[in-house]
Each structure stands twice: as structure tokens, then as C-alpha cells.
Structure 1
Amino acid sequence: MEPVYRTLEIAAHALVRAQGMRLSVRDEDKLPATGGVVLAVNHTAYVDFLAAALGVHRAGRRARYMIKSEMMDNPLVRFLITHTHTVPVDRSAGAEAYAQAVENLREGYVVGVYPEATISRSFELKEFKTGAVRMAADAGVPIVPVIVWGAQRQWSKGVPRDMGRSRIPVSVRFGDPLHVGADIDPVDETARLKTQMSELLDAVRADYGDHPAGAPWVPASMGGGAPTPEQAHEIEAAEAVRKAELRERRRAEQIRREKGRG
């Protein structure tokens, strides 16, 4: 029954009702009814995991995500992670998280993965990491691609947050399972996964409805105000430098404090 996960499901449905979110889920029957599955989700928002998880719930299953290990610093989040088979990922030492995710897949769980690793500011697909494909190959399970579109209007980078009752339409569509063998080339199979998700993304956008010109949540390729992939890359590179500098300042401050106590 998993009471903690069930409580989260109830809270998620309550949030959707409170927001008046117009959630559309299609082709959820493409998700296998049993057995391990790598759920490959595009990443455009801080809350796209919720829409994808609700899509998985409609298919009669539950999604377990891989998330940043920093989230474990929060006691409440740490409790939820521990009780929902979520996999915390330390990017500086990811082997343990990878092994845990593969074990979860072998035990029959649906494990949600963002192949892009981080949110795409352009709302186009970024370059994919090979982890999803390697995980599926090692566990002997299929990959099911999922596209979420519209969640970036709620809460994302470069877009005003709108988590109130805005009746924002959010689309979730599942793609055909991708089966990979143990002897595959991870780079080639990752390219195949990205192509499949790119085609699915185009189809979801075509069916979504209006994409107002200049809107910050609409890709530049569609006449929107979001940065182009090239511009987004420059923004992310500058952010990475700032974060590295901040980490270094914090590390230096910690060393000074430790010396002061000594």
C-alpha cells in the first residue's frame, strides 16, 4: 500500500484540483503494466515530474525519480525520499545512485530519469546523457519516453511563477517503449531515444493549442520569448561559473571557521 506514497498521491491530486490544472494524459497504455521501466522525461520545469507521475498513476503504476542528493538536507524531503524509493544522486559520486536505480528497476519499479539532467531554458531538448540507456541495458528493462508540455508555464527558469488557480493546460504523452540489448552502443541508443522524444515533442506541441508570440514559455523557434538553445547554453555556462565561485567562497569560509575553532 505504501502509505507515504499514497499520501503524496492524494496531495498531488488536491494540488491539481486547487490549480484547476487542465491535465491531459495520452497513450498511458504504452507503459508496461508490470516490471521495471526507465521513464525518460523531458525537463522544462521544476514541476514537470508531478504531471509525469500523475500520468504514470493513471496507468495504474507509480514513478520513482532520481533527484539531486542536496534535497536530503531537508528533513521532510529526506523522510519522503526514504519512504518512496526515490534515488538521491550525488553528481560528484554517482556510481552508488546508479547501482541503486538499476536495483530498483530489477525489482520492478518505474524509475523516472531526466536524460537532459537539468531544466532546458530554451524548452527544446538539450543534449542527452547516456544514463537512461545504460540503466535500461544493465537492468534488462525497456525505456518509455514521456513528454510533458505546459508545466513550464507554472514554474521554470526565466518564466514568472504561476502556481495559483490559473487553469493552465498541461499535456503528458507516452511514447512507444524502446527496447535495448545488453551489448548496445550507449551513444547510438541515446541518439535514437532523443530522436523519438523529439518527434513526440513536436506532436504534443502541435496538439497543445495556442503558443502566443513572445511569451516567455514559448520556444524561440515557435516565435516565443524563450532563449534559443545557443543563448540558453551561454546563460547556463555563466551560471555554472557563479555557482563554482559561490561553492569556493563557502568552502573557504568553512576552512576559516574550522581554523578559528582550533
Structure 2
Amino acid sequence: MADLVYPPVIAFARTMFTLLGMKITIEGEEHVPADGGAVIACNHVSYLDFIFCGLAARRSKRLVRFMAKDSIFRHSIGGPLMRGMHHIPVDRDAGMASYKAALSALKSGEVVGVFPEATISQSFTVKDLKSGATRMAAATGTPLIPVVLWGTQRFWTKGHPKNLTQRGVPITILVGEPLHPGRRDNQDAVTAELRSRMTIMLDRAQREYPQQPKGPEDKWWLPAHLGGSAPSPAVYEPEAQ
């Protein structure tokens, strides 16, 4: 398919990264295959995560087709951009159509990006995962690649005002070794393994992050178990069901 919109959007984003002095660290890019279908499963802490998650495939020169809420596709500005980048709209009341579209993309050799937590984790831990990413990988025989982001929540996340102009914010992107689920595998067990790997990766990204909150009022972007003021996971458990 022709990609006339995606490359200029990437160029614009990289320009903004430079202007804002972002310190982006990416590790494990070699796990994204240079060709063929693949499913990227990423944690979700920010409204901007799809921008940064896509960087995981930069070394492999792949363009990630993200599954995103269909409401974004109805936005006057976001909609044309999302369609131009060939992302996949998800209607939660009619999810089979988007699932089939994702399968078709994978079978044609595309990389499909999924946020299996379904909603932003306000605790900044990995919530329970939906099994769709695992099932898609198993159905198409494609690798399932865990990715975690950290630092993106400082720009714009649920429950906090956005701050898109702050400079020098480090962003960590960790790409893990792929899982290879098969049709006969227990998909719930594979999804549990995916969550376990993502949790370990996220904990590492958080503990090795090069900046700390400037004071008590800035601790909102750290999880509670690391001394931050983000709510505990139990507060938002219903969102993961």
C-alpha cells in the first residue's frame, strides 16, 4: 500500500523530539523483524504512546499499523491522519471487524501495534491484558513482541493536564524477545506470560530511568511502589475487566 502520509508525520515528530531536547533510549530494536507480519504489544501510560511505540520498529524500517479507538478516526484532524497512515479503527461494540482487519494486515506482512491493556494505566503498572494480541499472533503464525514505554506519561496522561512543551524529558523504549504463540497453545497462559514479561521490562525501565521527580508535587508520574503518588493498581481494577 502507498504510504504518502506516514513518512511526513514521522519526520514532523522527529523534528519535535529534537526541538524539545528529548532523550530517547531504545533497546532491543533487533527483535522487530525486517519483513513479514508481527504483533507489537505495548503498555499504555500516555495518550501519545503510539507515536513512541512506533519507534521500536525504526531500525527495521517498518511502519506500525496501530489498532486505535474509532472515535479518533472521526476527529476532524486526527481522522484523516489515522486513515492516511493505515491504522486500524476499533469499534468496541463491533470488534470482529477490526480483528479481521488486523488479521488481514498481518497476513499481508504488516506490523500491527496493539495496546492490550485497552485503556491507559493510571497506576503506571501493567494492568490485566486482553488476549486479542495473543490470538492474532497465534492465528497468523506471527511473532508477538512485548514493548514497554516509560516517560511518555509526563507529557499527557489520563487525569493530569497535558504539558507538551517541557524540554529534556527522557523517554525509554524497551523491546523484548518475541513470543511465538501457536493455535493449539492456551492463549490465556500466553497472555499471562506476555504480561509477566512486560511487567519485568517496565519495572526495569522505571528503576533505571535517569530522572527523578523534582519534589513532592512532581511525584504523580511515579508508581506507588516506587514512592510516587500515582494510585495503586487496585483502584482501577474494574478498567481491566
Given the two structures, how large is their TM-score scaled by the length of structure 2? 0.92
Q: CA deviation at 1:151?
A: 0.3
Q: CA deviation at 1:31?
A: 1.0
More helix, by proportion? 1
Q: Which residue of 1 aligns with 2:155?
A: 154
Q: Which residue of 2 aligns with 1:92?
A: 93
d(CA) in 1 for partners of 2:76, 2:226: 42
Does the 8 A contact of 2:32 with 2:56 survive in 1? Answer: no
Does the 8 A contact of 1:152 with 1:217 survive in 2? Answer: yes
Deviates most, 6-15 or 75-84: 75-84
Q: Which residue of 2 aligns with 1:231?
A: 235
Give the CA RMSD over aligned residues.
Answer: 1.7
Q: In the TM superposition, what are the counterparts of 1:12-27 in structure 2 within 5 Å?
A: 12-27=13-28
Q: Describe the SS at the equivalent of 1:29.
A: helix
Deviates most, 14-23 or 123-132: 14-23
- Deviation >3 Å, runs of 4+: 210-214
Q: Which residue of 2 aligns with 1:217?
A: 221
Q: Which residue of 1 aligns with 2:39?
A: 38
Q: Which residue of 2 aligns with 1:144?
A: 145
Q: CA deviation at 1:87?
A: 0.3
Q: 1:79 to 1:160 in 2, by over 3 A?
A: closer
Q: CA deviation at 1:185?
A: 1.4
Does the 8 A contact of 2:147 with 2:176 survive in 1? Answer: yes
Tell me the alpha carbon deviations over residues 125-149 of structure 1, each in whole angstroms, 9 at most, x when there is no partner: 1110000000101111011110100
**Alignment coverage as a number of residue pairs:** 236
Q: In the TM superposition, what are the counterparts of 1:131-210 in structure 2 within 5 Å?
A: 131-210=132-211
Q: Aligned letter for 2:68?
A: I
Runs of 5+ unmatched residues, structure 1: 238-262
Q: CA deviation at 1:12?
A: 1.1
d(CA) in 1 for partners of 2:161, 2:21: 18
Q: CA deviation at 1:72?
A: 2.1
Does the 8 A contact of 1:56 with 1:62 survive in 2? Answer: yes
Q: Which has the higher contact order (CA 8 A, sep 6+)?
A: 2
Q: Which residue of 1 aligns with 2:129?
A: 128
Q: Which residue of 1 aligns with 2:106?
A: 105
Q: CA deviation at 1:77?
A: 2.7
Check if 1:55 corresponds to 2:56.
yes
